[in-house]
Structure formats: structure tokens, C-alpha cells
Amino acid sequence: MQVKWSSIKESLFSNRSLRQTVAKNTFWLTAGNVTGRIIKAGLIIYVARVLGAAGYGIFSYAVSLAGFFSLFSDIGITGILIREGARNPKALPEYLATSLGIKAALLAITNIAVFTIAPSFSQNVPGALPLLPIAAALITFDSLRDLAFAVIRSKEKMESEAGISIFTNLAITVLGSAAIFFFNPTPLGLMIGYTLGSLAGTVLAFWTVRESLYNPFKYFRLKMVGPMILESLPFGLMGLLGSLMLNIDTLIIGWLTSAAEAARTLGVYAAALRPIQVLYIVPAILGTAVFPALARLAKEDKARFRNVLEKSLAFALLVALPLVVGGFLVSRELIGFLFGAEFLPGTPTFTVLLLSLLIVFPGGFVAHAILAFDSQKTFLSYLGLGLVANIILDLILIPPLGIVGSAIATIAAQLLANFVIWRKLKAIQDFKVLRYLPKMAIASIVMGIAVAGLNTLGLPVLVTVALGAGVYALALYLLKEPLLKYVPN
């Protein structure tokens, strides 16, 4: 047992070879992301019930507004820091000190924008106004922690990042819950607890990289500022578009909804969106895991690249199909179980957003495949097209359809953007997916019939979900689905 533990310890806490280091980093990024999201999801479910739809809507709007303005606090500097720190560890102190100086200037601009511009975004959600100063602090702490994470990633010590991420989410959950339970059950109380948790994580992150951060004034290089900013723009543009796509729906709903209904509507929408966002971690993890292989095979072996890509896309659909079918059938029960009866009006929105899983799950692999061929410009155009389409469709559909219109706009924008990027990838490397669908489609139908029958029995929704998953797995096994042999890998 001692030998086995030492072997596990070496595999998970040291960098011995390229393959082992990539596997170790993937494991820790996965562990940190999954654990952090589960912990934070528990907090969100709790506070949504305590604050109600209106209170939760105010909080979620303030967080989205913070996310929107945070895009000005990093123009891709962390990407440059990771790259240069990995290439030349001796130059890390100079790059870190200079990055810290740039970051300080960007944060100053961002905080000024939050205090001067953000209030005009909150006219229909006046309850969010007292939260804006706290949101500015949250942006600052999150942005500085990302800088520390960049140092950790440059050293390929993702085990440290995972530990800090888990600690941060635990601190946010504990302090946020305490603020609600013991002191102030309001959006402001939650925001204060949430931000204090972020501060705790940032302090730990900088303590972890303290050896790289000695005497930053000595190592700051003014002559490096201009070149670093220019080189960071591609990273920054990608982050800008990604941040906008994550937060724009919530902001537009707040702008277009009457002040009397905005807070409650935002809360219902945030509750419908939360389970979908948690599920998005699945393609993110799988895409991260397979990307090194795709990047290598894109240059070395196109036939194997196609095989890995097709199997990855098929596996993504193997997971997404039952989630969509089952989610449709238990949507009302699931929303009620997670958030309570007050959030049941979000059921139609949740049902529409479920369709995004069929787009996002395989789309994550397609995006990684595009990056494997060094076609970053195509990926940026994909993000830009999706963002523009989303905004236009939001403006058209939200006034007549409300938050369901926003969900439809999201699906339509994702379909358009993914159609473009799929065509681009097929032009680079042909691949086929439809031949993998029949057995998983049949298994999904069988599962759907079983779940519909179980629903009539009035079983708890989690029992129905578990039994439905078992039926799906059994159906795949009986149909001899060939993809099952890849599950252990």
C-alpha cells in the first residue's frame, strides 16, 4: 500500500514527463472545476430559496454586471504571463511585476467605470445599485487571483490551482451562507459574504506564489508594457467575447424588463440557467483532456485525428442526448426540487435551454479541433458571430416572449455560430458523426418512455433521474453500443 501511495503521490504532485504532467494537470483542473462548481451550486440553490426570485435576481444581475465590467480588467495579460513564464522561468519576476503594474492600471479604470457607468445599466434593477461598490471589490479580487493562477500555470502546478479554487469556493459558500443565515438575509449581505470569500482565495493564491513576487517595484519594466499589451490583444479579444457571451443575456433582460418585474424575472431566469451552466463543465473537461492528442495528431496523423475527433463528438452526444430527453420530461419537478415553487415559471426557459446541450457538448470538441490546426482567427469569428446574433435576437425576442425569448435567442445564436465553425473544420479535415447516432437515439427513446412512466408514479425526482440513467446505460449495453468500451479511458 505504501508503494502504491508513493506512486500515486508522484503522479499527482510532481512533473516527471510530458505525458504524465499533462495527465496530472488535466486531473487537477478537472477536480478543481467540478468540486468548485458543485460547492457553489449548493450555495446558489440555498440562497435562491432564502432570498426568493426577486432577491436572487438582484444578486445574479449584480454578479453578471461585475462579470461584464471585469472584461476591462484583463486584456489578455495573464495569457502572456503564462506563456513567457513557461518559456523562460528566470524572466518570470520581470513579467509578473510588469503584469501586476498593468493589472493595477486596468483595475483602476474598471473600478472607475463601475462607479460611473454601471449605475446607468441598473435603472430597471434599482436594488442592484447598493451592490455595485462590493461588485467592484469582487472584480478586483477575482482579477488579482487570476494573475496568481497565471504564475501557477506557467510552472505547471495545477494541483496548487485546484486547491486554491476549492478553498475559494468553500470560503465563498461558508461566508455567503453565514451572511445570509446569521446576519443579513438580503442580496447585499450575500454579496458581502461572496466577496469576502473571493478575498480569502486571493490572499491564499498570492501567498502560494510569494517567492515569485519579491520586490515587484525592482522588477517592473516600463519598456515591456507596450509590447506586452500588443501581444496580449488576441488573448484579450477571446476573453472579451467569451465574457460578453456569458453575461449579455442577463444584462439585456434587465434593460428590457420593466422595473416592477425586472428583479423577479432575472431571478427566475438565473435559476433556469444555473443547471445548464453546471452541465457545461462536462464538454469543457472532456475537450481539455483530448486537446493535447488532437494538437499532436493534427500535425502527425490526419487519419487518427479524424478517428479521435469522431469518437469524441459521438461520445459528447452520447452524454448530451439523455440529458436533454430526461430533462424535458422532469423539467418542472427538477426546478421545483432545486429552487422551490416560486421559480417554476422558469420551467419553459429551462426546457428551451436544454437544447443547448446538443450544441455545446460537441461544439466544445469542434472548437478544440479548430485550435489544434492553429485556426484561432476562425474561433474568434465564431465567438463574434455568436455574440452579435445573440444580441440582435435578444432585442427582437425578449419584448414579446420574455425570458423564453432570450433562451430561444441563445439557441439560435449557438446554432448559427456552430454551423459556421463545423463547416470550417470539415473544410480542413472531413469527419462524419451521423453514423454513430442510431443506437444512442434508440437508447434515449427507451429511457424517455421509462422516465415518463416513472413520473406517473409520483417518485422523488432524483429517484426518477437515477432510474432513468440506469435504463439508458442498460439499453446501450443491450444494443452493444461500441462507444461504451471507451468509457474507462
Residue 213 lies in a domain: yes
Residue 487 lies in a domain: no
Task: Give the mean model confidence (pLDDT) for residues 253-272.
Answer: 90
Residue 323 lies in a domain: no
3-state SS string over the chain?
CHHHHHHHHHHHHCCCCHHHHHHHHHHHHHHHHHHHHHHHHHHHHHHHHHHHHHHHHHHHHHHHHHHHHHCCCCCCHHHHHHHHHHHCHHHHHHHHHHHHHHHHHHHHHHHHHHHHCHHHHCCCCHHHHHHHHHHHHHHHHHHHHHHHHHHHHHCCCHHHHHHHHHHHHHHHHHHHHHHHHHHCCCHHHHHHHHHHHHHHHHHHHHHHCHHHCCCHHHHCCHHHHHHHHHHHHHHHHHHHHHHHHHHHHHHHHHHHCCHHHHHHHHHHHHHHHHHHHHHCHHHHHHHHHHHHHHHHHHHHCHHHHHHHHHHHHHHHHHHHHHHHHHHHHHHHHHHHHHHCHHHHHHHHHHHHHHCHHHHHHHHHHHHHHHHHCCCHHHHHHHHHHHHHHHHHHHHHHHHHHCHHHHHHHHHHHHHHHHHHHHHHHHHHCCCCCHHHHHHHHHHHHHHHHHHHHHHHCCCCHHHHHHHHHHHHHHHHHHCCCHHHHHCCC
Residue 312 lies in a domain: no
pLDDT in tens, 416-465: 888 888 888 888 888 888 888 999 999 999 999 999 999 989 899 999 99
For residue 19, the model assigns a pLDDT of 60
The total of structural domains in the chain comes to 1
Q: How confident is the model at residue 24 (pLDDT cuts 50, 70, 90)?
A: confident
pLDDT in tens, 152-164: 878 878 888 889 9
Range(s) of the domain holding residue 141: 11-259
Residue 480 lies in a domain: no
Residue 220 lies in a domain: yes
Residue 111 lies in a domain: yes
Q: Is the pLDDT assigned to residue 488 strictly greater than 60?
A: no
Residue 469 lies in a domain: no
**Higher pLDDT among residues 442 and 97, named by residue:** 442
Task: Give the mean model confidence (pLDDT) for residues 29-47.
Answer: 83
Q: Is the pLDDT assigned to residue 277 strictly greater than 90?
A: no
